[in-house]
Structure 1
Amino acid sequence: MVTPPSFKFISFGIKEYIPVLELKNWLELINTVLTSGIVIFSGALLLYLIIYNLRTKVTRSFIGLLACVLITYFADLALVGVEGPGVATIWLRIQWIGITFTPAAYLDFSNALLATTGTQSKKRDIATRISYLLSAGVLLGVGFSDWIVRDGKLLPGTPRLFPGPLFPLFVLYFLTTVIWGTINVFWARSRCLTSTSRRRMTYLAATVAAPAAGVFPFLLITGVKGVTAGLGLWLLLVLGNIGVGWMLVVLAYSVAFFGALTPDRAVKHRLVRFLLRGPFAATLVVVVIIVASRTEQWIGLPGSRLVLFGAVATVILIQLGIELAKPLIDRALYRQDQPEIAWIQDLSNRLLTTTDLRQFLENVLTALCDLLRVKTAFITVIDGNTPHLEVVCGSLDPRTADKLPPEAWQTWSGETLSSSRRLERHNSLFVWNGYWLAPLYTQDQTRVIGVVGMTARAPEPDLTPEEREGLTSLLAQATAALEDRQLQQGIFSALEHIIPEIEDIQRRRGVMYYVGEEALTGFDLVENEEFRQSVHDALNHYWGGPNLTAQPLLSLRIVEHAVQEYGGNTIKGVRAVLREAIERLRPDGQRKMTAPEWLLYNILELKFLQGHKVREVAHRLVMSESDLYRKQRIAIEAVTQALAEMEEQESLKENGSSVQVDVAPQSTPSEATDPTTAV
């Protein structure tokens, strides 16, 4: 949409010419840079959301909206410098792919935001589908007729189409849809109960106009009056693109938190680093390329060489600058938890992996061999009173550690060694089978965690004071490394036990609670032991018994509504709900008694709905009774999950007291656990 700026050369009488850009041409240049930046940031954010957060409806709908912005601005960028009207017309019509689908994507995005607050409407869903159909119809009209737009002129700096007879109707459709979507966003904000959700919705409400404002074809309106691209228009384009670019980043930042299963600090850190190292760096490279290509007159070097040097220098300096600014970035992102984050980061840098430990111990042994002028040294780690050869410097039989006598690592009390022992002690060293051995004691001197062995250069240790001092220092380093490694292994072992709980906490963090203070989520029901037990008892007493109508099963909305439908008959209501939950587990197709995919449903239907005995069910399903009991537990868990999903869907129908859980789709127990292999 922008032509390369023209230059004026003014002579100052010293045979030097200084290129002076007119203000209008400066604005054209700035607009080109801003358009490039919006294309880069839109594409980068789109890829980021696809890779890291495609699991939520809000994100998926926003990706569609972002794609519309990307297509529209990319076409603008492609039109820069275009001279032929035929090529310009093709790109202008391609641009309408993004323009026509923006209203539908806008309405879809706002509807998804409303759904996160617990209000769903079939009318809005139908309206969203209709808007996509209307957008597709408009696109066909743009591509194959002149009813919406018609070929325009390649005006200086601003190639444009002219409006067709039905263009006002498209404007009406565009504005109506965008206004409706904006109302939905503000409605979603008003339904938020927590300060965190309200703050994020405020960011969305303040920036949600960016996509619509960025893609709307304003030049077609000016084209009606034949207005050319003057200084005022370029100034508006520049200011508008600055606002659109900034709001798009804030909008994507807000969307990135929806359904995220990682802590907010991790999302912030990952997104900020991605933006700085990716689109921000790429935009600066574009700026350098544009500036370098227009300054060859000043420096006297070819433009291609300046572009090459400038791009390389920019990439290197940006990466270096980001690395140097990392402490400031972390301080800005982690204002409240800075000490803890610094400690965690420092811990990750100090942790010893198995490779790190082996490399460190190899360095210790190499230094030890150089110090004592021997060819072989080794370190054996004592784990559970069993020696394991850890590191070797030089040549050594791998079975040496197995032959090591227990006296080498058992705590030495100082008494004289018996003749039956195979070790000879000389101060702090032992002599054994042609090696000098040095036990590595823990800091409290109560346990040996390793043994360092080295080739004996003499029948008895003959260390000089300098060698003894160096040996003591190296042994202390090896001891510290082994102690740290054992401590870390204990920490890792403890973390392995709590990682499932941490994952569960992160999973719960991804659930955004906007409304409904007393509503239960699927997580609460499935993980509630009392609820699972009540489902088990109700199924066992399906044909009669007190547990069929026990709490907390009766507190479910679906049960309350079912009881009302059966005229207040609690037993019939509970049976109907259980029967529906079991039917949800019924696979598609013809029923087969021995097929693996039918196993859970067959157990539930035969055992509980029909009331057959265990022996009869096992016989019909061709399995042992013990195996049947194991599969029955899995089947009951599947019913519990189905009831939780039914309760959640029921809560979504009650606006004002419902909860929408926008999390990744979870497989049902029948899918998550193969009944043929479950134990």
Structure 2
Amino acid sequence: MLTVLITLNQILVAGVAITAFALLLYALAFNLRDRVARSFALILVAVVIVYTAEALASVANQPVQQAFWLRTQWIGIILLPAAYLHFSDALLETTGKPSRGRRRFFVRLAYLISVVFLMLLPTPWLVGPLVQNGAPAPHLRPTPLTDLFTLCYALAMGISGYNLVRAFRRSTTSTGRRRMFYLLIGSIAPALGSFPYLLFGSALAARHVTLFWLFSVINTFLVGGLVVVMAYAVAFFGVGWPDRTVKSRLLKWILRGPVTASLTLAAVTIVRRTGEQFGTPYSALVPMTMVATILLSEYLITLFFPLLEQWLFDGKDKNDLELLRRLETRLLTRNDLRQFLEALLAAVCDRLQAPGAYVAALDAQGLELLVWVGKTGLENNHTNASLNQILAQNGGLSGRFRWGNDVLIPLMDEDAEGEPQILGVLGISNVDNLELDSEQEQALATLTARMVLALQDYRLQREVFESLRTLTSQTELIQRLRASGRYHQNAALQNVPPEPTDLAQWVREALSHYWGGPKLTQSPLLRLSIVQRAVEAYDGNVSNALRAVLKEAIERVRPEGERRFTAEWVLYNILELKFVQGKKVREVAARLAMSEADLYRKQKVAIEAVARALLEMEEQNQRQSQIPSTRG
């Protein structure tokens, strides 16, 4: 029984380390820009160190190795109180209670104390030598400084818990309170489960060895589960995705990462320990078990995760989400359309023995050549011809007609009122006399009907894309406001900073109309609080206000000192010459002694620098506008 409990505890300890590391990678990949997520990442770093070192110490054979890993474990233990204070302060700030200095001071003090204890860790003052034969497990001997650290540990955790309770009480929405409750409960396990209780309770544990290991198994299992609960609640901070997307990504990552790795580790450990009982500690079954467990886990996740996702997350929106998934998998992209039309054109050339053929689609600007096969001579005169010029030779929209050496066949459809409308034309090149038998006529009718079907789908999907582009910025703003409003009741009244990629695109468009134009007067940048403040200063003139803000952002890119035409000044010079002075690309490239291609590359970097400057200005303005009600 005791051996089973010790083995199970070792597996669970390694599982907690794997889970914490996987969740740390998830936090680093998705929402590290948020202060709550960053501070939670520090907690995960501490948990990873604690449980990785404990797992390695439990399997170490030499006393020197055991002492090294047990002392390494203390790095995470020392970092944990400061990380918890940092996390609780960030969480309380999210609910609209920013610190006016006091909480931040204690967070910095906690990190300073942690640094002091870390400097003492290599010495025998903080923790003593290894008690190798201590029951129920080897541990380090406590010292008077250990008592002092324990007091600091308990004090920091107590303050952190108090801040978490305050954050829970300040949450206004039902969703926010529920997730704050998850954080409150989940934070208990790492705080209590990471402290080495054998420093003070080794005598009691030695008298009740089986009870100790049973408690250790339960404690480790709870730590692993509640760390996942904390990560689930934190995953919603700093992201503007819908809840179902956050839940789906996190669940998939947990299944593919910690669950698969932990199952593999457990299976390998059990096979190896079983082999030791029969005198073969390592056999071919060990790698075979590892590979089989990984492949089987990935196979089951791939097979059943879509069903699990629909069951857990879709809810009442199941039909709408299923429609979107089908659209994604069955979408006819431009490349798909080209491939399909190429196959149809090849069939046309084969059936009619024509040297070449092409399809042009009709859009707002006229005919757009989509695809061609064989010898067509399109480079001479066909590509720039308008639809009216081509059809004028036929005098109508139906039937075949000649245009030069080509035969054109309009690809027709009906609009909502049943009136004929043209989608494009099929061109068959270099045919003198197109006389077809009945079989060829039927084949051509079938092929043109399929071309019409493809162009219909392509036109409809283009309209869908245009609608999606229009909706994208508004829906992203709504999602970010909704995410912020879970915890802070006034978040809907605040300006949410845009995403950097969106901001760079908006800046590029506004700079292109710097001296006037719709991309300046109707720019999404007008929603920024710094621009709204400037509009008031310029008596409601949005053009002058946005131009002034852009000019200030450009000046922030300017290096210090007198203006020069050197490498460090190139970004500012491009912005000032191209947009402020309005010079042409060729003039700017000649003035800066670079090629036009190099100028465009540098211009992209310069615009991104202006976007970063605008984001800094916006965040600075929002910090200045925040007026805390009471001291934190």
Give the TM-score normalised by the residue count of structure 1. 0.70
Is the contact made by 2:92 and 2:164 (CA closer than 8 Å) also made in structure 1? yes
SS in structure 1 of the partner of residue 378 of structure 2: coil
Paired letter, 2:288: F
SS in structure 2 of the partner of residue 652 of structure 1: coil
Is 1:103 paired with 2:81? yes
Select the residue among 484, 493, 499 that pairs with 1:511: 484
CA distance in 1, matches of 2:614, 2:333: 43
Paired letter, 1:83: N
SS in structure 1 of the partner of residue 316 of structure 2: coil
CA distance in 2, matches of 1:349, 1:131: 52
Select the residue among 329, 349, 362 that pairs with 1:382: 362
Is the contact made by 1:379 and 1:450 (CA closer than 8 Å) also made in structure 2? yes
Is the contact made by 1:388 and 1:401 (CA closer than 8 Å) also made in structure 2? no
Is 1:359 paired with 2:339? yes
CA distance in 2, matches of 1:395, 1:156: 87
Question: Structure 1 residues 509 and 532 mapped into 2: Cα distance closer, same or farther (>3 Å)?
Answer: farther
Query: Aligned-pair distance for 1:330?
Result: 2.7
Question: Structure 1 residues 367 and 160 mapped into 2: Cα distance closer, same or farther (>3 Å)?
Answer: farther
Is the contact made by 2:11 and 2:265 (CA closer than 8 Å) also made in structure 1? yes
Tell me the residue number matched to 1:167. 146
Is the contact made by 2:136 and 2:202 (CA closer than 8 Å) also made in structure 1? no
Question: Structure 1 residues 166 and 518 mapped into 2: Cα distance closer, same or farther (>3 Å)?
Answer: closer
Map 1:175-194 → 2, pairs under 5 A: 175-194=154-173
Question: Structure 1 residues 288 and 470 mapped into 2: Cα distance closer, same or farther (>3 Å)?
Answer: farther
Question: Structure 1 residues 164 and 527 mapped into 2: Cα distance closer, same or farther (>3 Å)?
Answer: closer
Question: Structure 1 residues 456 and 423 mapped into 2: Cα distance closer, same or farther (>3 Å)?
Answer: farther
What per-residue deviation string (whole Å, max 9, x for no partner) do you get for residues 39-98 of structure 1? 111111111111211112211111111111100000011123211111111111111001
Select the residue among 311, 328, 333 that pairs with 1:331: 311
SS in structure 2 of the partner of residue 188 of structure 1: helix
Query: Aligned-pair distance for 1:265?
Result: 2.1
Consecutive unaligned residues in structure 2, runs of 5 or more? 498-526, 542-551, 573-612
Question: Structure 1 residues 351 and 518 mapped into 2: Cα distance closer, same or farther (>3 Å)?
Answer: closer
Select the residue among 428, 444, 447 that pairs with 1:474: 447
Tell me the residue number matched to 1:398. 378
Is the contact made by 2:366 and 2:386 (CA closer than 8 Å) also made in structure 1? no
Select the residue among 268, 284, 300 that pairs with 2:263: 284
CA distance in 2, matches of 1:300, 1:388: 76
Is the contact made by 2:82 and 2:107 (CA closer than 8 Å) also made in structure 1? yes
What per-residue deviation string (whole Å, max 9, x for no partner) do you get for residues 610-629 of structure 1? xxxxxxxxxxxxxxxxxxxx
Select the residue among 435, 448, 460 that pairs with 1:487: 460
Query: Aligned-pair distance for 1:333?
Result: 1.4
Question: Structure 1 residues 237 and 302 mapped into 2: Cα distance closer, same or farther (>3 Å)?
Answer: closer
Is the contact made by 2:92 and 2:166 (CA closer than 8 Å) also made in structure 1? yes
Question: Structure 1 residues 644 and 180 mapped into 2: Cα distance closer, same or farther (>3 Å)?
Answer: closer
Is the contact made by 2:394 and 2:401 (CA closer than 8 Å) also made in structure 1? no
Question: Structure 1 residues 375 and 277 mapped into 2: Cα distance closer, same or farther (>3 Å)?
Answer: farther
CA distance in 1, matches of 2:246, 2:69: 37
Q: Pick the structure with more helix per residue.
A: 2
Tell me the residue number matched to 1:441. 412
Select the residue among 4, 7, 18 that pairs with 1:40: 18
SS in structure 2 of the partner of residue 391 of structure 1: strand
Is the contact made by 2:170 and 2:487 (CA closer than 8 Å) also made in structure 1? yes
| Stretch deviating more after TM superposition (71-80 or 137-146) | 137-146
Tell me the residue number matched to 1:610. none
Query: Aligned-pair distance for 1:469?
Result: 3.3
Query: Aligned-pair distance for 1:461?
Result: 2.5
Query: Aligned-pair distance for 1:488?
Result: 2.1
Question: Structure 1 residues 435 and 515 mapped into 2: Cα distance closer, same or farther (>3 Å)?
Answer: closer
CA distance in 2, matches of 1:492, 1:142: 60
Map 1:92-491 → 2, pairs under 5 A: 92-119=70-97, 120-155=99-134, 158-224=137-203, 227=206, 230-295=209-274, 303-325=282-304, 326-372=306-352, 374=354, 376-384=356-364, 386-399=366-379, 401-402=382-383, 410=391, 421=393, 428-430=399-401, 435-444=406-415, 446-454=420-428, 459-465=433-439, 467-491=440-464
Is the contact made by 1:99 and 1:216 (CA closer than 8 Å) also made in structure 2? yes
Is the contact made by 1:288 and 1:310 (CA closer than 8 Å) also made in structure 2? yes
Query: Aligned-pair distance for 1:332?
Result: 0.7
Query: Aligned-pair distance for 1:25?
Result: 1.7
Aligned length: 543
Is the contact made by 2:477 and 2:496 (CA closer than 8 Å) also made in structure 1? no
SS in structure 2 of the partner of residue 327 of structure 1: helix
SS in structure 2 of the partner of residue 447 of structure 1: strand
CA distance in 2, matches of 1:591, 1:244: 52
Tell me the residue number matched to 1:664. none
Question: Structure 1 residues 202 and 239 mapped into 2: Cα distance closer, same or farther (>3 Å)?
Answer: same
SS in structure 2 of the partner of residue 459 of structure 1: coil
Query: Aligned-pair distance for 1:246?
Result: 0.6
Question: What percentage of residue pairs aligned between the two structures are identical?
Answer: 32
Paired letter, 1:130: L
Query: Aligned-pair distance for 1:432?
Result: 5.5
Is the contact made by 2:376 and 2:430 (CA closer than 8 Å) also made in structure 1? no
| Stretch deviating more after TM superposition (358-367 or 244-253) | 358-367
SS in structure 1 of the partner of residue 58 of structure 2: coil
Consecutive unaligned residues in structure 1, runs of 5 or more? 1-22, 412-420, 540-582, 599-634, 657-679
CA distance in 2, matches of 1:398, 1:228: 92
Question: Structure 1 residues 459 and 474 mapped into 2: Cα distance closer, same or farther (>3 Å)?
Answer: same
Paired letter, 2:457: D
Question: Structure 1 residues 340 and 537 mapped into 2: Cα distance closer, same or farther (>3 Å)?
Answer: same
Question: Structure 1 residues 150 and 401 mapped into 2: Cα distance closer, same or farther (>3 Å)?
Answer: same
Larger Rg: 1 or 2? Answer: 1
Is the contact made by 2:5 and 2:217 (CA closer than 8 Å) also made in structure 1? yes
Is 1:25 paired with 2:3? yes
What per-residue deviation string (whole Å, max 9, x for no partner) do you get for residues 100-130 of structure 1? 1211111221122122222225232222222
CA distance in 2, matches of 1:205, 1:58: 14
Query: Aligned-pair distance for 1:586?
Result: 11
| Stretch deviating more after TM superposition (118-127 or 220-229) | 220-229
Question: Structure 1 residues 532 and 586 mapped into 2: Cα distance closer, same or farther (>3 Å)?
Answer: closer
CA distance in 2, matches of 1:72, 1:204: 20
Question: Structure 1 residues 301 and 440 mapped into 2: Cα distance closer, same or farther (>3 Å)?
Answer: farther
What per-residue deviation string (whole Å, max 9, x for no partner) do you get for residues 217-251 of structure 1? 01222325571782222211111111110100010
Question: Structure 1 residues 494 and 34 mapped into 2: Cα distance closer, same or farther (>3 Å)?
Answer: same
Is the contact made by 1:211 and 1:248 (CA closer than 8 Å) also made in structure 2? yes
Question: Structure 1 residues 462 and 586 mapped into 2: Cα distance closer, same or farther (>3 Å)?
Answer: closer
CA distance in 2, matches of 1:54, 1:449: 48
| Stretch deviating more after TM superposition (357-366 or 583-592) | 583-592
Query: Aligned-pair distance for 1:359?
Result: 1.1
